[in-house]
Structure 1
Amino acid sequence: MSLIMLGSFFILMFSGMPLYLSLVTTALTGIIALGDWSLIRVLAQQFYGGMDSFALMAIPFFVLTGILMNKSGLTDRLLEFSRLLVGSVRGGLGYVNVVAGIVLAGVNGSAAADASALGTLLIPAMVKDGFSPPYAAGLTAGSSLIGPIIPPSVFMIIYASMTNTSIGGLFAAGVLPGLLLGGAFMVMNYFYSRKNNMPILDSKAIRAEAGKTLKRSFSAILAPVIIIGGIVTGIVTPTESGALAVAYCLIVGVFLTRGLTLKGIWESLYETARLTSSIFLIMGAATIIGWLLKWDQVPQRFAMFLTQSGLVQSPFLLMIVFSAIIFPIGMFMEEVSTLSLLTPIFAPLAIKAGIDPLHFGVVMTLNVTIALITPPMGACNYIVAAIGRVKLSDVFIHIWPFIGVSMLVLLIIIAFPPITTFIPRLLGL
């Protein structure tokens, strides 16, 4: 039955059918293969149950916050702040790209949103500064991966809602891995800039504007502080934190930057509804598939195979195997679907093997996130190619070093669990 469902899904997906319909149709195919028509009555209940989670309410707020930041001009101010920090060294705009990715990661938790914001402003500027277009696009796509790792994170919220893991703890666990990923991309930019003798920006001009830049960017920096600080300290829930961030962006965008109009607010609400409804539909449909796989005892058979092979006794090897499974699947499947389908199968086995739930949650999230820049389905590649007016084939060719560096960071995180567990333990989460 499982093989029939897998074949059906890929045929439907590559035929161009919307992803959630492909998943629902695959579920119907599985029921037909089982021959138990009574299961059809449970489909609607499972579909709704996949979306009926309090934790998931935070997603629309974080998405809306990111959109409002872009429309209100707050994102531009964050980029100015990033330029002030690292813009006056050789290849400075490359470092600005990465630092801006880290700062924006604390706002919306979406790699696609970060790729769009960073690409619009930085790819043309980097090309003008002498960077090759494929490298500028690749670095922007790589920087956008930091978004789902550093809190808040849409992927982490989905994972936490499916495993009853603390969202605050998971968010805290993602801070050091996100900074490690950003540091790795900075090292890449260092060697690229040295090799290609990239120009050094005028540090005097940047420092001369330091006071003005800090004053302008202060209001923008407060947004991630509200989101991350409120959640990690336990003052507010993730949903409440997202709502506060939305309210803050509305007030600042209307009265301070004056970049938000009624039309802009309406467009932001529409875009948020469009993006989040697609996420919720995919989650509901993926829940049906996961339920059918459990009905057919696929997780149990997979667990038995891993137990007999001895991999469950080695947490390191087990996570390497999981990563080896997730990576190729993520190359062809949408990320929310990958996370929704594989988490119920992998997470119980990881916990059984003695892996910390927060550690495994970050590893799972990073695995799925890397798929966002992995051809042929990597959504961020399409975004930066379109925005930067770079040939998609060039992006696909030049993205592999960034994928390799991301996989190296993933391996380091797997090998050294304290990278993920240190901050949550320090905060008592």
Structure 2
Amino acid sequence: MVKEDKAGVTYAKGFKAAGVKAGIKKSGNPDFALIVSDTDAAVAGTFTQNKVAAAPVYVSKKVVKSGSAKAIVANSGCANACTGQQGMDDAEKTAALAAAQLGITADDVIVASTGVIGVTLPMDKIATGIKTAAAALDENGSKDAANAIITTDTYIKSLTTDIIIDGKEVHIGAIAKGAGMIQPNMATMLCFITTDANIDQVRLQLALSAIIEKSFNMISVDGDMSTNDMVVVLANGQAGNRKIVKDDEDFKIFYNALAELCCKMAQKVAADGEGATKFLTINIHNAKNFADAKKVGMSIANSPLVKTAFFGQDPNWGRVLCAAGYSGADMVPEKTVVKFGNITVYADGTGAAFDKKALQKVMAEHDIVIDIDLNIGSTDATVWSCDLSYEYVKINGEYHT
């Protein structure tokens, strides 16, 4: 069972972490994180699909392609995106500096950044951060690392779970950041996952790639795709289970645990949307296929009119139905049923009669469930989102300054 746990990325055997102040953020808050495995680890990763990708994305893709890694370094406050050759050189130098400090090779180091686009890394501060973090590495350092990667997040995001594979207790832990520029296809989001499972790198990558599609790729805060997104998993094998090398029962157990953790983390990211006052769960039922179900869910989640209606506690089902209609998915209005918190607000091609006081109570809640039954197929999907508030505009209007 997945639980909120400050142990995060140090929950699994053989991992240490640290989070320190390197002086990158103007606020003076922690801004540099380091996660290290005691031994070589299989590595898997997924990255932003934005063609304007940040320098650390390119560096980390190469590491994932190599199949193994031992460390993750991440800074917050500077995205190192749109910084040309200097940005690439700085990302590679960050890996080299960390490798030298840890006694490993640069191609064993995942590099991540988040923050303002178009600003080069302050490499003197990065060097200081690496040295300070390396000295602070601790088996209980995950909370500090989680705190060091956040930007506009209102809280740290840290989860753990454990399972039994081959008679051995296997641990999985994660930390993440993300609150804005969320969707499509992950977010301004960094998520680092560690596990002591003994699993083949190919199977690890297959699992992560499939899981991302129904977890981090099913959330939306504002419909903007970041330049820096990445989800990375390190698996060092220290649980001692028989190595997972095929799609057997052991793989299914691991896959299901990782999927649950990623879905829970995705929900935490969506719920912490910049300025959010509502957490919206949008369930699409009985679509023709998953692609159509996702189109409808994301269309509703990304509609500014839908999002502002929920911020204003206005049960404007017309906006929801409208967004479903222009999503590009197959739908028949007369067959579609819309519910807010189990109260039917639209059916049979028109608005439904409902208890206004009961619906007002639903709209006043922080967590609201929207159900859209298309009634034309048998495939379901769930999208997680939030409302759009005055505070979102304020946060993003002042972000660069």
Q: Which has the higher strand share?
A: 2
The answer, yes or no, to whether TM exceeds 0.5 is: no
State the TM-score, normalized to the length of structure 2: 0.24
State the TM-score, normalized to the length of structure 1: 0.23
Q: Which has the higher helix share?
A: 1
